[in-house]
Structure 1
């Protein structure tokens, strides 16, 4: 059963804000509207909506009644929920006090609360039948898109704040490549976003509440009429209509008037999506960490038959923080399409993990060939070994270890498969174990490193390349990016500053061991794994 804190998190800070420090862990069973003139007699676990509250004294009476009957909490609008005396009373009685946005209608809040409770009830009942794109909430948005399309007499798409398509109208009589690509990809393509951004469209949407008209563009993109979708101070998304040209003020006003209605449906959709996402993430973490309950998680996520591999995905960060977050959202959206019967994608410790089915006779690279991972953009992919569902935690640990080597530049990338990388894993684990023995203190290697740091020489790198390619100055020089004669000169300088007998096998083996520890131990950790 969902708690008061869970309800507040699902509804979001735009609508609800916890004002008390106690009672937030109480389970919520139902929602009760306290109308003017009512004498509240709530049941245990009910949320009381203070619709009738017009004074602090009314609010205090409601809090006392809720505490007496073990209600889950009391919801009030400003300024009552912020009253210091009322908050102290609620905390003394152990009743949760939650503030509702002043801009939200009580009917909207009630509807959204029931949506959250219904989604939590489905999760508790372990109901896993297909529900399309998040069931009735998305169905309402598609129906609403058709209604708005009739109002504005144009095809319509409804998008969230990240330009992902949530719903679109059935009519396709007026379209262009940008609309087709948007609907097919369920997201506005990057090049289309760039064109609209250059015209200041998104800046206007973020600042205003009225419609924005964008004329036709030279590349064939048809005109657009756009309206922001807001609830309170938050921009939830936008509606886009493909129009033949400038529209009348009456039609533009009717299009804008649909915004608040769409905002209500969009909030309901988001609450449902958040509930589904939370359930998915919980089950995915259980599966990737193993332990009790993995069988039920595997069955729910569709990973209970046949071997699977865990892939650790590290997106290359774009230059700026907003773009980085956009890229991560795009990658997560991209990965959620087409990986097996029920995609398993979750984030652990800043790394995305995907569980990918292993076909009979296929190798580590083959699991990526037909999945969105192969075209997900500039990413590093580390692939654990193929295992049954009960051993996915081991495959996840392997993928995390490989990803650490990719990040440190110890593997060429961008794809590393467990079975193919055993030499690198042997050397890295050996180096990690030997690092505690302080091998640099033995022999001349430490002094050579000090000379390199102080004088800008390259003794250590030259020695490592020469020992890796003994008797082959051409290959050793190529590894360092220098001419073979330059390599020979460096070796002569090296012999001048230290007495090294490289003809002795034991000396060569000891130096190779020390240099391997230096090179393969530079991740700063031993065997890497994702945090809990």
Structure 2
């Protein structure tokens, strides 16, 4: 048993930096109930819980069957590869562990319940939707609760969470302006002495992003290829008289590249300076790992709350309160790419990307908008905070029109009715989903449910007709069969007649026939099908049947 880390997790060698990061003990005080509540059933669920339940989780550990079992008291133990947890529960109980997590689904029998009762260790089931690495980092994030512990501070003599402080310390020690960038060339921190650098560095810091033209030059000169291939500093000189050379080092965790640290220099580093630069990059890696884990956990928890509100149920009210959406009217927006993927995995990835774009777009008008993706669709729950929620939702739809036609989005967007309480949100979601179904077969990109109600009504009738033969029987079926046998146009004539509200002249013009020919066809319609065109109910019913069967 090694605390919160092993060389292999999910079959991937995570390396010494990650192991060092994951071994650091969390501050105590996180209850098992809080971990389960924060992460949700998408990550962990209770299989069997002792009475009384464990009061506190102090750390997370990974079980290694080849090492002596010695978890810390209060540990939540990840049973990677454990098929029969009974004996392991009893062993963990002797060390006062809090819980054991094994991969679900679990077949809970009486011997397993007895093992939980005897050991006092809760048995949790891990969802197949989350990898062991994700679970480990998510639990760690809940335990850390956004605070760095003392061991992290001792690692460098200051708080490694303060990446700006780290950049300043490195810049001061090496007498050079420093930036720390992520893998997407976004600046996550920089030292205070950037005036000593050059124009490209100034543009980078102001935009918090390496300019695209500079990225292209670095790529064309194979700088990134050299940088990511080694753990040593790389000298970069593109030969511009007005641009300082750079020394860069990859920020990595094991084999994973997290970003890079860049120094604008007037001379190459000495050997001691290079060692200090590399050591600083390792410190940056520790913080970037923690930052990423915190962001992932936060997004996961928030998405789980959003899905709970969208689906309804007993926890929806509480989830809405935690999202700060319980006190105002709401409406649901559903979006999916206009070029919808058939492959399930591709659809999910596209929906996640679209969800991020949708969140950014809507945040312009409402900071408390809540978004999540599910089943290949991106959803947003939009709070309506003005005195006229209906008008506000219409204005939001106008904003979404711009989103739907963006080149990087390319989406169709449906909006449901106003939900006056969280309990009504699932109905608004159903509306939004139905609008998407309608938009897929049309040329519109956005619509509110009330704008396409007639198409929704006919679509629902069409769905009913698929399973109800009586809805498909009647005059239209008889006329369709007659047309097939006699090469006539009685169905088309009936449809045109109803569309013209019974106006013979307009119908004859639309069908390009003489009015007398039309009158003959109308008589044949009655003779073939028995339809009484003077009966308004019959006209309504056959008109609906034409729409439903016409698709």
**Structure 2-normalised TM-score?**
0.57
Matched, 1:30 2:86: no
Q: Is 1:360 aligned with 2:387? A: yes
Per-residue deviation, residues 173-203 of structure 1 (Å, max 9, x unmatched): 34549636852xxx77888877766776666
SS at match of 1:269: helix
Q: Distance in 2 between matches of 1:191 and 1:421?
A: 46
* Change over 3 Å in CA distance of 1:510–1:340 after alignment to 2: closer
Q: How does 1:301-340 map to 2 (within 5 A)?
A: 301-316=323-338, 330-337=353-360, 338=363, 340=366
Q: Secondary structure at the match of 1:386?
A: coil
Shift of 1:310: 1.4
What secondary structure, in the 3-state scheme, does the structure 1 residue paired with 2:296 have?
A: helix
Q: Secondary structure at the match of 2:447?
A: strand
Partner of 1:398: 431
Q: CA separation of 1:413/1:364 partners in 2, compared to 1, >3 Å: closer, same or farther?
A: farther
- Aligned match of 1:179: 204
Q: SS in structure 2 opposite 1:416?
A: strand
Q: For 2:359 and 2:498, locate their aligned partners in 1 and report how far apart those are by CA, in whole Å.
A: 47
Aligned to 1:420: 451
The question of whether the paired residues in 2 share the 8 Å contact of 1:31 and 1:47 is answered with: yes
Structure 2 distance, partners of 1:180, 1:460, is 69
Give the drift of 1:40. Answer: 8.7
Q: C-alpha offsets along residues 208-236 of structure 1, whole Å, 9 cap, x if unaligned?
A: 54556777699x9998765433222333x
Q: Give the alignment of 1:206-355 within 5 angstroms.
A: 208-210=230-232, 227-235=249-257, 237-239=258-260, 241=262, 243=264, 255-316=277-338, 330-337=353-360, 338=363, 340-355=366-381
Counterpart position of 1:385: 417
Return closer, same or farther for 1:290/1:324 CA change in 2, 3 Å cut-off. closer
2:182 matched residue in structure 1: 159
2: distance between equivalents of 1:460 and 1:514? 11
Q: In the aligned structure 2, how far is the partner of 1:508 from the partner of 1:247?
A: 88
Deviation of the 1:512 alpha carbon:
3.8
| Cα distance in structure 2, aligned partners of 1:402 and 1:192 | 44
Distance in structure 1 (CA, Å) of the matches to 2:434 and 2:418: 15
Contact 2:59 2:140 in 1 (8 A): yes
User: Which secondary structure does the structure 2 equivalent of 1:403 belong to?
Assistant: helix
Question: Closer, same or farther in 2 for the Cα pair 1:155/1:211, shift >3 Å?
Answer: same
Per the TM alignment, residue 388 of structure 1 is displaced from its structure 2 partner at its CA by 2.9
Aligned-pair Cα RMSD in Å: 6.2
SS in 2 for 1:153: coil
Give 1:313 deviation, angstroms.
2.0
Q: Secondary structure at the match of 2:328?
A: coil
**1:152–1:420: structure 2 CA closer, same or farther, 3 Å change rule?**
farther
SS in structure 2 opposite 1:364? Answer: helix
- Look up the match of 2:108: none
Shift of 1:272: 1.9
Is the 1:435–1:517 contact (alpha carbons within 8 Å) kept by the matching residues of 2? no
- For the residues of structure 2 that align with 1:463 and 1:213, how far apart are their CA atoms? 80
Query: CA contact under 8 A between 1:310 and 1:354: conserved in structure 2?
Result: yes
Contact 1:148 1:255 in 2 (8 A): yes
Counterpart position of 1:407 = 440
Q: Is 1:46 matched up with 2:75? A: yes
Contact 1:112 1:268 in 2 (8 A): no
**Structure 1 residues 410-449: Cα deviation after superposition (integer angstroms, max 9, x where no partner):** xx43211123222222222222223333455655769969
Alpha-carbon contact 1:298-1:389 (below 8 Å) kept: no
Structure 1 CA distance, aligned partners of 2:93 and 2:502?
Answer: 85
Q: Is the 8 A contact 1:385 1:398 kept in 2?
A: yes
Is 2:100 the counterpart of 1:68?
Answer: no
Summarize deviations over 1:459-498 as a string: whole Å, max 9, x none: 99999688657899xx99xxxxxxx99x859xx9xx99xx
TM alignment of 1:435-474, pairs within 5 A: 435-438=466-469, 468=499
- Mapping 1:476-487, distance limit 5 Å: none
Q: Is contact 1:317–1:324 with CA below 8 Å preserved after alignment?
A: no
Partners of 2:263 and 2:492 in 1: CA distance: 62
Give the whole-Å Cα distance in 2 for the aligned partners of 1:388 and 1:7.
47
Distance 1:32 1:330, change over 3 A: closer
Change (3 A) 1:211 1:386: farther
Q: Could you tell me how far 1:238 is from its partner in structure 2?
A: 0.9
- 12 and 379 in structure 1: CA distance in 2 versus 1, 3 angstrom threshold: farther
Alignment match, 1:480: none
Matches within 5 A, 1:6-155: 15=14, 29-31=57-59, 44-46=73-75, 66-71=92-97, 116-119=142-145, 139-150=161-172, 151=174, 153-155=176-178
Judged with a 3 Å threshold, the aligned counterparts in structure 2 of structure 1 residues 255 and 504 are, in CA distance, closer, same or farther, namely: farther
Instruction: Give 1:264 shift.
Output: 1.5
Residues 1:299 and 1:13: Cα distance change in structure 2 (over 3 Å): farther
Does 2:540 correspond to 1:513?
no
Q: Which runs of 5+ in 2 are unaligned?
A: 20-45, 62-67, 79-87, 102-118, 124-135, 149-157
The answer (yes or no) to whether the contact 1:284–1:344 under 8 Å persists in 2 is: yes
Aligned length: 435
Deviations 1:64-91 (A, max 9, x none): 964533435899xxxxxxxxxxxxxxxx
Distance 1:429 1:444 in 2: 19
